[in-house]
Chain A
């Protein structure tokens, strides 16, 4: 049985969902210099998927994501923009080199592994942020009993012999 506490992480998530494209660009500006167009594009794509989630399921189903190709020489911030974006929105994020995949049937990574890896990342994320941490009242309640039970056994051997 699990104890679920009202997590503050969820509330935070809500706030993040409200990020406007402009705010996203401002956030990205803190980490990546220049590249206004790319920042705008990712901000729009992100906002669009937030918009999608507010639609009726039938319509949401029809809307495909606005995938992006970023074109530019190395070292101008392509990866950094994507990485910061993912951090900002708390989305599961995976970076892969397309060149490491091989066609099905050849030795090498098959393309589906990227989705598997992404799920793995998401699992870790959810597990991390779902703190079933005891809050203060519980710490004084059943938690202390539980811990005491373990500690009691442990404390005995090292207790100094009674004088």
Chain B
């Protein structure tokens, strides 16, 4: 390749030109190269702290990789993969963290949503009995955040005035009116959600974009099994789910998961041997799989 008359630099620049040409045309895509990959997962260790010190913990984590320097390791990959990797790497470096931080904080302040689940568990005014690490105290702590305060984070101060809080709870034992009045006032909208009916169950099985029926059908399709449910079977499943919910504990739509899993238990196990077949689940099949368990109350408490 190198003829004697050309100088070394010229030849290398020619090689470079040639390589560039080939790279653009995608001819090198399958070649394997070795490149330095930055190692990201440095050994992490948690520092157990109480609150407040949490900040410090975070900062130390940030410092560590810098103390030890960026560690790199060699990794082999195809040229097109390497190309992707290098682009990503460069992107990371180009990201202006200041701007990202500013945008992120702005987004949190103006459109952040905090979903406070199990709010009923901290309701209940004066605990009175038992070593109850003051629920009311937690409510009082939450209050300023919901009311609007400034929280110090590692990215800077964040105002919580306009964050949307959605609280949720079953309120079986306590009532929303058991929350401290100031907190009640900060949640002006109350909505009650209805228990699901049997018709709801049928719809949940079929209608959502990634409904259970669609999920299982897709899963078994990977085994080459075509799964179908008759409408009666779906009614039956919903019916069973509803009954178990009534007789044991009401866990809502989650019950459908356990019932479905039970109904398809055998099929899921045998599927690889049934390649190419199509299976239709009808009401009788559902009944056959479930009757015994549903009849036995104690058993269904454990299995369904």
Contact = CB atoms under 8 A, between A and B. Distances in A.
Interface of A: 1-3, 30-35, 37-38, 40-42, 44-46, 49, 52-53, 61, 64-79, 82-83, 85-86, 89-99, 101-104, 106-116, 118-119, 122-123, 125-127, 130-134, 140, 143-144, 146-148, 150-152, 154-155, 157-158, 162
19 contacts: A49-B110, A71-B191, A72-B195, A73-B172, A73-B195, A76-B195, A78-B168, A91-B113, A97-B121, A98-B122, A102-B138, A111-B138, A111-B141, A115-B108, A115-B158, A119-B108, A148-B16, A151-B33, A155-B19
Nearest to A131: B91
A33 B19 contact: no
A143 B87 contact: yes
Interface in B118-146: 118-119, 121-122, 133-134, 137-138, 140-142, 145-146
Interface of B: 1, 16, 19-20, 23-24, 28, 31-35, 50-52, 54, 79, 82-83, 86-87, 90-91, 94-96, 99-101, 103-105, 107-108, 110-119, 121-122, 133-134, 137-138, 140-142, 145-146, 148, 151-155, 158, 160-172, 176, 186-196, 200, 203-204, 207-209, 250-255
A157 B34 contact: yes
5 closest A-B pairs by CB: A75-B252, A72-B193, A103-B137, A110-B51, A122-B104
B167 A69 contact: yes
Contacts, number: 316
Contacts of A66: 164, 188-189
B194 A76 contact: yes
B31 A119 contact: no
A150 to B, nearest CB: 5
B196 A82 contact: no
B40 to A, nearest CB: 14
Residue among B16, B101, B117, B166 having the largest count of chain A Cβ atoms under 10 Å: B166
Contacts of B186: 64, 67
Nearest to A148: B20
Interface of B is mostly: mixed
A74 B251 contact: yes
B33 A52 contact: no
Contacts of B254: 74-75
B194 A72 contact: yes
Given A73-B193, A93-B115, A99-B118, 14 more contacts: A37-B191, A38-B191, A46-B164, A65-B165, A68-B167, A68-B190, A73-B195, A74-B251, A74-B254, A76-B253, A97-B118, A102-B137, A122-B107, A158-B32
Contact of A67 (B16, B100, B103, B188): B188
Contacts of B35: 150-151, 154
B189 to A, nearest CB: 4
B62 to A, nearest CB: 13
A82 B110 CA distance: 17
Contacts of A77: 193, 252-253
Contacts of A99: 118, 121-122
Nearest to A45: B164
A49 B111 contact: yes
A70 B191 contact: yes
Given A76-B193, A109-B51, A158-B34, A92 B113 contact: yes
B170 A148 contact: no
B111 to A, nearest CB: 4
